[in-house]
Amino acid sequence: MNLHRLLTSAFFVTWLAASLRLAGPVLLAALGETFAERSGVLNVGIEGTILLGALASFLTDYVTGSVWLSLFAAMFTGIVFNLLLAWMYVTVRASQVVVGLVFNVLAIGVAATVYRRALGESSGPQSVAMFAPLHVPGLSDLPLLGPVLFGQTSLLYLTLVLVGLAHFVLFHTSFGLALRAAGENPSAADAAGISVGRMRYIGVLIGGATAGMAGAYLVLAQIGLFRESIVSGQGFIALGIVIFGRWSPWKAALAALVFGACDALQLSLQLGGGNVPPQLLASLPYVVTILAISGLFGGRAVQPAALMVPYAKE
């Protein structure tokens, strides 16, 4: 079949639109985590934060029916829980990987306990109001670009705006310069009068906010309900995207798109029937992430020099 037919075939268009849509949560989480890692903190706990954000958005949506309020609740939840994490990373100076890992277990416990209390053991999954795909008259009906670029939810558009905002703040403001210095050479930042601790707190909290939003995205713009297994590795994949995106917001967006494409591909292959077992297809996104961060494509040398190194003043 010729290229034009391929590019406008239903399969391709659906796939591309789905790629963008599925990239949303991991991109959101990766954006904030980029700030955290640029300031010198590796926050493994974003996996748990996404779960808690998802729950918060679900509960708020269940009660109020307002998607925007739910989004805000998720963001707030992410910030509050990451305050604890930031305290342990920056003030207590405990091992970052350990704290993040243990926090994820805590989050699973909290989410399960609160969800079951809120809804009772007996009732099944409840669906809630979602972000509706936008319809831009004229533009949404274009053959290829229409559904892909102009038929997405406002949450996805917000995410894309955040990419640009993140890039600007990180590379074109004195705050961004100070934050990056805290992650490259904290002594130099300190000598320049910058509070390394404060930069790292802010970095982690930004990460928490977007991770919470990522959880809201899963519930409000992807699945439409909450279940305890709604988060299965998206946080870790976001960490991989930060690496693959070389700690730069717009490169992370590209990396997230690649991931989204793999996810969309395996989903449509599953639906399309065929002989490949669904579980093995489902492992594709994880395998791709592993390859991306294996170092096969370089990358270790570019990470913030003081990443994971706690800083203490005498």
Partner 1 sequence: MKLIERRVSPADSPLAVTTAMVGAAVVAMLITSLLFTLYKANPLQAYFALFHEPFASWRGFGYTLVRTAPLTLIALGTIVSWRSGFGYLGFEGCFVIGAAATSWLALNTAFSSWAFLPLALLLSFAAGAAWAGMVALIRARFGGNEVLISLMMNYVAILIVQYLVSGPMRAPGGVPETALLPRATWLPFILPGTRAHAGILLALLATLLVWVLLRKSRVGYELIVSGLSPSAARFGGINVGARLVFAAFCAGGLGAWAGLVEVLGEQHRLMDGISGGVGFTGIIVALLAKLNPLAVIPAAVLYGGMTVGANAMQRRAGIPSSITFILQSLIVLMVLASDIFRRYRVKLT
Partner 2 sequence: MPAFEMRKIVKRFPGVVANRDVDITIEAGEIHALLGENGAGKSTLMQILYGFHSMDSGSILIDGKPVEIASPRDAIALGIGMVHQEFMLVPRFSVVENTVLGLQGKLDLREAARRLRTLSEQHHLAVDPDAQVQHLPIGVQQRVEILKLLYRDARLLILDEPTAVLTTHEKDQLFTVLRGLRSEGHSIVIVTHKLQEIVDLADRVTVMRDGQVVATVSTRETTEQELARLMVGREVNLRAVKVPVERGKAILRVEGLHVRDEVGQEKVRGVTLDVHAGEIVGIAGVDGNGQSQLAEAIMHLRPADKGRIFLHDREVTRLTVAQHRAFGLAYVPADRRHVGAVTEMSIADNAILGSQGKHTKGPFLNTRKIREHAEKLITRFGVRATSIATKAGKLSGGNLQKLILGREILEDAAAMVVEQPTRGLDVGAIESIWAELLAQRERGKAILLISAELEELMNLADRIAVMFEGRIVGILNAASVTTEKLGLMISGLSEES
In this complex, which beta carbon is closest to partner 1, that of residue 16 or of residue 54? 54
In this complex, which beta carbon is closest to partner 2, that of residue 176 or of residue 233? 176
In this complex, which beta carbon is closest to partner 2, that of residue 142 or of residue 169? 169
In this complex, which beta carbon is closest to partner 2, that of residue 121 or of residue 314? 314
In this complex, which beta carbon is closest to partner 1, that of residue 12 or of residue 115? 115
Q: Which residues are at the interface with partner 1 (CB under 8 A)?
A: 44, 87-88, 91-92, 94-95, 97-99, 101-106, 108-110, 112-114, 116-117, 121, 232-233, 236-237, 239-240, 243, 277, 279-280, 282-283, 286-287, 289-290, 293-296, 300
In this complex, which beta carbon is closest to partner 2, that of residue 10 or of residue 301? 301
Residue pair 29/214 in contact (Cβ under 8 Å)? The answer is yes
Binding partner selected for residue 189 from partner 2, partner 1, none, CB under the kind-specific 5 to 8 Å limit: partner 2
Residues 100-139, mask of contacts with partner 2 (x by CB under 8 A): ----------------------------------------
Distance of CA 235 to the CA centre of its chain: 6
Distance of CA 215 to the CA centre of its chain: 8
Per CB under 8 A, does 298 bind partner 2? no
- Near partner 2 by CB under 8 A, which window of 119-127, 174-182, 205-213, 266-274? 174-182
- Near partner 2 by CB under 8 A, which window of 26-34, 173-181, 200-208, 254-262? 173-181
Per CB under 8 A, does 172 bind partner 2? yes
Q: Give least dist CB 118 to partner 1, A.
A: 10
Among 44, 148, 162, 181, binds partner 2 (CB under 8 A): 181
In this complex, which beta carbon is closest to partner 2, that of residue 287 or of residue 309? 309
Q: Give least dist CB 248 to partner 1, A.
A: 18
Position 78, amino acid: G
SS (H, E, C) the chain: CCHHHHHHCHHHHHHHHHHHHHHHHHHHHHHHHHHHHHCCCCCCCHHHHHHHHHHHHHHHHHHHCCHHHHHHHHHHHHHHHHHHHHHHHHHCCCCHHHHHHHHHHHHHHHHHHHHHHHHCCCCCCCECCCCCECCCCCHHHCCCHHHHHHCCEHHHHHHHHHHHHHHHHHHHCHHHHHHHHHHHCHHHHHHCCCCHHHHHHHHHHHHHHHHHHHHHHHHHHHHCECCCCCCCCHHHHHHHHHHHCCCCHHHHHHHHHHHHHHHHHHHHHHHCCCCCCHHHHHCHHHHHHHHHHCCCCCCHHHCCCCCCCCCCCC
- Which residues here bind partner 2, judged by CB under 8 A? 172-174, 176-178, 180-181, 184-185, 187-195, 305, 313-314
